[in-house]
Structure 1
Amino acid sequence: MSIKDFKLETLKYSYSNFNIYNTVTSDLKNKFLAKTTKEIHSLQSESNELINEFNILSKCDHKYILKALDKKKVGNRLFVIFEEYEGISLKENFKYVNKENLNEFISIAIKFCEALDYLHKNGIIHNNIDADSILINKKLHDIRLLNFNYSFNKGYSCPSFNNKSFYNSPEQTNRINMEVDYKTDIFSLGILFYELLAGFIPYSKEKKDSLSYNIIAKDLPLVSNFNNDIPKVLSLIINKMIEKNPIDRYDSIFSLLLDLKKFKKDLIII
């Protein structure tokens, strides 16, 4: 789909070096979302990330993945145009998970995993799972996965972007000789779930210069140690996601999905 002319309306979402705007076509007939750099003059590295995101998403068609429609260069800024979506960030939705919203959290987690399962079965590694990677529409009980800046196809080299994050897997630290593959997404998703269930980002209280060491070497306690509302079985699922050695993690997102669905079913019975 080609979008000829558009106007930025309001800032919807901001993260890292990028902004996402509510956008309307010049004739005011169609609404979209537009992602671009925060600065008026885009750096080449940032433009490359946007191009990479558009190229990856142009191959995707899944109900829980934000659809990319077009990319446009306006002056010195590159824009990626997405479908319109009414949603808030994951962290805005879940300030803290407790007994009252645990079932809702599991439902969102299952949808997140279904989107990742689609990606992995199509040879795509997201490579950037964090708290900014998902929008939630509470009224529709719906989600959209986004932020594919660092994504890549299995069999191709992992993009050499500077992405030092609390959600990085040991493989992403570049300090151990392990391939960045599907299991990286499982680890990062586990850290995100841990954050929402425990109420804090793992390693965030440590010195920033020791982050890579902590990710590689420092094991995390069960999340149920910090939140009494979290059943131990769910804590064990999270711990399996964030094993340091990829071999010890879930074999696939699909295997994780089965465990989460079983947990949800048992939770309803309880």
Structure 2
Amino acid sequence: MVINNSHQNSNRQTTVQILDYQILETVYSGSRTLVYRAIRTSDRLPVVIKLLKNEYPTFSELVQFRNQYTITKNLCKPGIIQTYSLEPYRNGYALVMEDFGGISLHEWALKAEKLLSLRDFLEVAIALCNILYILYSERIIHKDIKPSNILINPETKQVKLIDFSIASLLPQETENSINPNILEGTIAYISPEQTGRMNRGIDYRTDFYSLGITFYELLTGQLPFQSNDPMELVHCHIAKPAPLVHEINPKIPSVLSKIVSKLMAKNAENRYQSALGLKFDLEKYLHQLQATGRIEDFEIAQHDMCDRFLIPDKLYGRETEVETLLQAFER
């Protein structure tokens, strides 16, 4: 059975024909992908179908599309979108996933027409900590954490992570310096080491930096670094400190501002080292809010420990030599 669905895109009519699926609506139409809500005709199962927009996708696009399926097909964990199948479609693939009634966190925040309440934010943030702990346990680096890749059911508040197209199953990898216009990930959210200009490897803590920027945006309504110049954004991620959250939004308590700033530390060693350590602080914050409605300042990251042996990409015992090099660079 073939179902047709037409939608307008750049004033050009496109007909979607996907075997055994009844297309209900277009959920997303981006520069590279299309996403539809549909029903599988064999059992009336609600699904979401993701397609490549390019009629003749590149080899790299096809690899990334398959990567989503390869990583998530056996990852049946709460908080991770369930993938049902990868099916041939025209010159590429159709990725069929569960439909739990979710919309992107970005869309959810926009519909609120105002900044999220602290309680709503904390509940979402704690759910994301649980998701990042699953990724850490499975040795997966997502590399593209951002509000549009996080879905939330507006009724149940269930949160799930999507889009594993550039995710890695390696515990650590190296990013080479490349043109900022073709960096992996979304440049407004990528970590300093993900730019390829830090001479250091990428590990699970790169997702903590992107999570920090996501938190920043949810709490302030804006990104910490704003520019249309990719090179300027790369420089900001590497070297420019972001304005503190409570300076942008005075309603945010300083302790939450500290948590976000720690997530966004330039060096991975200075960020949170575990999702559970971050979750402990957020839950402590939430319990205070529920019990008294007030937030008492507390020392963050006191329960933040990593159970992996990681050699820091940092020089130790070479302070004099480093200072000499820096002085020479300044001259």
TM-score, normalization by structure 1: 0.91
Flag structure 1 segments of 5+ consecutive residues without an equivalent. none
**Aligned CA distance change for structure 1 residues 195 and 132 (closer, same or farther; 3 Å):** same
Choose from 76, 81, 86 the match for 2:91.
76
Q: Deviations over 1:18-69 (max 9, x none)?
A: 1211122244722211111122332221111110111110131222111011
Give the equivalent residue in structure 2 for 1:176: 198
- Give the aligned CA root-mean-square deviation in angstroms: 2.1
Alignment of 1:210-229 (within 5 A): 210-229=232-251
Q: Comparing both chains, which one has the higher relative contact order based on Cα–Cα distances under 8 Å and sequence gaps of 6 or more? A: 1
CA drift at 1:157: 4.2
Cα separation, 1, equivalents of 2:157 and 2:171? 35
Choose from 46, 50, 54 the match for 1:39.
54
Give the equivalent residue in structure 1 for 2:323: none
Classify the secondary structure of the residue corresponding to 2:202.
coil
Give the equivalent residue in structure 1 for 2:73: 58
**Aligned CA distance change for structure 1 residues 59 and 29 (closer, same or farther; 3 Å):** closer
Count of residues paired in the alignment: 266
Choose from 158, 161, 164 the match for 1:142.
158
Give the equivalent residue in structure 1 for 2:265: 243
Cα separation, 1, equivalents of 2:248 and 2:290? 23
| 8 Å contact kept, 1:190–1:241 | yes
Give the equivalent residue in structure 2 for 1:11: 26
Flag structure 2 segments of 5+ consecutive residues without an equivalent. 1-17, 177-181, 294-331
Q: Deviations over 1:90-109 (max 9, x none)?
A: 122224425xx210111011
2:55 aligned partner, one-letter code: I
Classify the secondary structure of the residue corresponding to 1:63.
coil
Cα separation, 2, equivalents of 1:84 and 1:208? 34
User: Segments of 4+ in structure 1 off by > 4 A?
Assistant: 156-161
Q: Deviations over 1:164-186 (max 9, x none)?
A: 51100001000011111111000
| 8 Å contact kept, 2:141–2:171 | no
Tell me whether 106-115 or 159-168 shows the greater mean CA deviation: 159-168
Cα separation, 2, equivalents of 1:217 and 1:144? 32
2:106 aligned partner, one-letter code: K
Choose from 94, 110, 115 the match for 1:97.
115
| 8 Å contact kept, 1:150–1:159 | no
Classify the secondary structure of the residue corresponding to 2:148.
coil
Larger radius of gyration: 2
TM-score, normalization by structure 2: 0.75
Give the equivalent residue in structure 2 for 1:130: 146
| 8 Å contact kept, 1:183–1:246 | yes
Alignment of 1:250-269 (within 5 A): 250-269=272-291
Identity score, percent: 32
